[in-house]
C-alpha cells in the first residue's frame, strides 16, 4: 500500500512524514522545501505476530509494510504548472490513497503560504487544483473516446457515458469519487488514475496543547469534520510535533509518553488503521519455524488469490488451504492442540479470507 501525503507548504507534511518514517526528510520554514518526493517504508503494527512468535519461535518475523510518499506542497495554480505543480500532481497519481494534511493550529512563528490560517480555504485550494488536473485528463479521453464510438462498438459508448458523468461532477466542483460507479464502469476509467477518485483522509494537524486540552475545543477541526462528513471523508486529528517526539523514544518510554498525554495509541497507529479501513484491506497470517508473517489483501479476496500474494505458483497450483483463526489458535496454545480438537479447517477455492486467518496453503505445480 502506498499513501501520498499532500498539503499546502508549511502545514506540517514533512514533519509528520519524518516522525512516522524516521526517514529524515528535509523540513524547513519556507515553501517548496520538498521538491522530489521523499519515500519511507513503515511496518504495520500487529501484536498478533508477537504472540505467534511465542508459539513458533521463528527465525524471522515480518510485518506488512506501508509506503509513505511525502509529496511537495501544492499551491494555487498547480494544475497549470505553478510551483512545479505538474510534477507534484504526477506523483499523486502513483499512490493508492491520499493523506491530506491540513493545518489546524495557530503559530505566528510558522508562516502560512496564504498569510492566515483557514483549513477550509486550504482544502479548497488543493481540491480545485486536483479537479482542474482531472478535467484536463478527461477532456483528452472524451475527445478520443468520442471518435471511437463511431465504430459502433457499445463499449466506447458506455465509456463515454461514464466520462461525461464524471466531467459533470468535476465541473460542479465535486471530486470524481463523489460519482457512484459500478465495478464495470470503474474498470473503464481505471487507467486514468484520476486524482480526485482516490480515497482520502484529512489529517488535521493540531498543536500539542490541543491534545492536552481536548480536540473537541479546536474550532478548525470541528469545521473540518463538518466538511468531510458532507463528502464522506474521514478526519484524523494528529499532532506532527507529538509524533516527532514519539519517534525519538524506545517502546517503553513511548508507552509512558502516550499514557501521560491520555492517548491509547500513536497517531501513526491510528493513521494506519484508518488507511486499512479506507482501502478495504485486511491481513492474513502465515506461521512456521522459518517465519511468522502478515500479508495484506483486499477484503473479499478468495483463498487462491491470497495464496498468490505469497507466490504466483501458490495460486496457479492451489489445492486447498488449512485455516484457523488467530484467536482460536491462541486459545489452544498450539496448532497441534487445535488439530486434535478438529479446529483447523480445510477450505477450497471459493473460501473468502478473513482478517486474522492463520493459513497454510497446499499447492501442486
- Residue 66, pLDDT > 70, answer yes
- pLDDT at residue 224 in the model: 92
6-10, 51-55, 239-243, 335-339: lowest mean pLDDT where? 6-10
Shortest CA distance to 122 belongs to which of 205, 14, 26, 18? 205
Instruction: Give the containing element (helix H, strand E) for 226.
Output: helix 219-230
User: Could you tell me the pTM of the whole model?
Assistant: 0.81
Instruction: Give the containing element (helix H, strand E) for 306.
Output: helix 303-310
Query: Residue 296's beta-bridge partner residues?
Result: 283
- pLDDT at residue 244 in the model: 87
Question: pLDDT tens digits for 190-211?
Answer: 999 998 999 899 999 998 888 7
What are the C-alpha distances in Å from 74 to residues 4, 100, 110, 122, 181?
13, 11, 17, 10, 29
* DSSP codes of every residue in 31-59: TT---SPEEEEEEPP-HHHHHHHHHH--S
Question: pLDDT tens digits for 89-107?
Answer: 677 788 889 999 999 988 7
CA distance 211 to 152: 60
Share of the chain above pLDDT 70, in %: 89
CA distance 37 to 71: 5
Per the CB < 8 A criterion, the answer to whether 304 and 347 are in contact is: no
- Residue 294, pLDDT > 80, answer yes
- pLDDT at residue 292 in the model: 97
Task: Over range 220-249, report the average pLDDT.
Answer: 87
- pLDDT at residue 34 in the model: 40
- pLDDT at residue 20 in the model: 80
Question: pLDDT tens digits for 300-342?
Answer: 999 999 999 999 999 999 999 999 999 999 999 999 999 999 9
User: Helices marked H in 65-207 — which ranges?
Assistant: 85-93, 119-148, 154-171, 183-189
Instruction: Give the containing element (helix H, strand E) for 342.
Output: none
Question: pLDDT tens digits for 135-148?
Answer: 989 999 999 999 99
Shortest CA distance to 7 belongs to which of 79, 103, 90, 95? 103
Q: How confident is the model at residue 163 (pLDDT cuts 50, 70, 90)?
A: very high
Average pLDDT across the chain, whole number: 86
Task: Over range 41-56, report the average pLDDT.
Answer: 92
Share of the chain above pLDDT 90, in %: 47
Amino acid at each position: 500500500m502506498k499513501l501520498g501525503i499532500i498539503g499546502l507548504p508549511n502545514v506540517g507534511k514533512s514533519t509528520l512524514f519524518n516522525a512516522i518514517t524516521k526517514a529524515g526528510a528535509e523540513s524547513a520554514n519556507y515553501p517548496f522545501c520538498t521538491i522530489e518526493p521523499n519515500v519511507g517504508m513503515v511496518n504495520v503494527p500487529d501484536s498478533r505476530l508477537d504472540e505467534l512468535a511465542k508459539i513458533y519461535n521463528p527465525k524471522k518475523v515480518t510485518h506488512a509494510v506501508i509506503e509513505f510518499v511525502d509529496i511537495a506542497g501544492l499551491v494555487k495554480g498547480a494544475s497549470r504548472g505553478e510551483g512545479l505543480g505538474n510534477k507534484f500532481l504526477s506523483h499523486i497519481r502513483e499512490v493508492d490513497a491520499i493523506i491530506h494534511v491540513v493545518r489546524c493550529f495557530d503559530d505566528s512563528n510558522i508562516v502560512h503560504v496564504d498569510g492566515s490560517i483557514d483549513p477550509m480555504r486550504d482544502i479548497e485550494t488543493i481540491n480545485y487544483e486536483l479537479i482542474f488536473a482531472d478535467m484536463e485528463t478527461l477532456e483528452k479521453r472524451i475527445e478520443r473516446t468520442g471518435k471511437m464510438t463511431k465504430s459502433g462498438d457499445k463499449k466506447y459508448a458506455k465509456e463515454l457515458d461514464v466520462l461525461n458523468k464524471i466531467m459533470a461532477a468535476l465541473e460542479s466542483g465535486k471530486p470524481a469519487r463523489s460519482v457512484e460507479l459500478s465495478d464495470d464502469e470503474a474498470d473503464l476509467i481505471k487507467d486514468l488514475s484520476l486524482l480526485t477518485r482516490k480515497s482520502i483522509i484529512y489529517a488535521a494537524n493540531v498543536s500539542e496543547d490541543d491534545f492536552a486540552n481536548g480536540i473537541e475545543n479546536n474550532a478548525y477541526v470541528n469545521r473540518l469534520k463538518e466538511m468531510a462528513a458532507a463528502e464522506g471523508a474521514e478526519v484524523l486529528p494528529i499532532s506532527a510535533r507529538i509524533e516527532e517526539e514519539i519517534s525519538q523514544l524506545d517502546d517503553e518510554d513511548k508507552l509512558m509518553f502516550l499514557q501521560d498525554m491520555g492517548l491509547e495509541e500513536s497517531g501513526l497507529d491510528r493513521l494506519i488503521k484508518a488507511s486499512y479501513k479506507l482501502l478495504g484491506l485486511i491481513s492474513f497470517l502465515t506461521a512456521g519455524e522459518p517465519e511468522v508473517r502478515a500479508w495484506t489483501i483486499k477484503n473479499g479476496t478468495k483463498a487462491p488469490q491470497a495464496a498468490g500474494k505469497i507466490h504466483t505458483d501458490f495460486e496457479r497450483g492451489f489445492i486447498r488451504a488449512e485455516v484457523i483463526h488467530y484467536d482460536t489458535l491462541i486459545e489452544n496454545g498450539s496448532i497441534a492442540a487445535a488439530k486434535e480438537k478438529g479446529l483447523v479447517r480445510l477450505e477450497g477455492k471459493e473460501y473468502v479470507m478473513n482478517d486474522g486467518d492463520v493459513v497454510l496453503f497446499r499447492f501442486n505445480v
